[in-house]
Amino acid sequence: MTIKAVIFDLDNTLVNRRTAFQIFSNRFIDKYVECKDYGSRSEIINLMRIADRDGYRNKRELFDELKTSLVMNNNEIKTDELLNFWSSEFLDCTVLMNGALEVLDYLKSKNYKLGIITNGSVYSQNTKIDKVKIREYFDTILVSDEMGIKKPDKEIFDIALDRLGFRAESCLFVGDNPELDVIGARAAGLNAVWLEGFMEWKEASEVPINKINQLLDLIHVVEDNSRKARNF
């Protein structure tokens, strides 16, 4: 089946949340943490990354833990202040994944319809999209909080397909999360591409044939599909 549309996850797929969190961590350390040298800074950033669980950690829990596990420059600091710092700084740290613009430009030049399905709040996810200036590439964008459903629920994939006007087998879904992105998309009938390097494959189901180490490799996946379709 010829691929006619490509739908993307957002965090750690089109935008590099891991890099954004590292940028935020440096700002956090500069403002709140006692840090004497680069070595200790690297250790603190790694501790923060692990505690954050790639964004799947409740932020109040995260900062409550960091207050006790790090040497803060103010022992009286309140968690609410740290949460306010997160709210004011993190989204500003948003950066594109390497190769994202090249991939989006290529797909648009080949007339593929493009979409995003992302779990998260309407404000945060839309702010990230606008921060890196990629909204104009997409024919539809679905944010879980706005829709009232989230990945891996089949319904959110079905809505995206309806908006794009294609059947599931004509669409490719690209994401980093094995359960939410890959298994969820496949359960909805879409072809799935797993972007490795951010989350381990711990599921019992088979690892997809289409897996890529960097986003730029998606161009080869799409080109390969196009060649096979022409030769059919």
pLDDT in tens, 78-95: 999 999 999 999 999 999
Percent of the chain with pLDDT over 90: 84
pTM: 0.92
CB atoms within 10 A of CB 18: 18
pLDDT in tens, 87-144: 999 999 999 999 999 999 999 999 999 999 999 999 999 999 999 999 999 999 999 9
Nearest to 211 by CA among 168, 175, 160: 175
CATH architecture observed for domain 5-16+95-231: 3-Layer(aba) Sandwich (3.40)
pLDDT confidence band for 1 (50 / 70 / 90): low
Nearest to 147 by CA among 126, 122, 124: 122
Q: Where do the DSSP E strands lie in 81-151?
A: 113-118, 140-143
Cβ burial of 63 (10 Å; 0-12, 13-18, 19+) is buried
Ordered by start, the domain boundaries in the chain are 5-16+95-231, 18-93
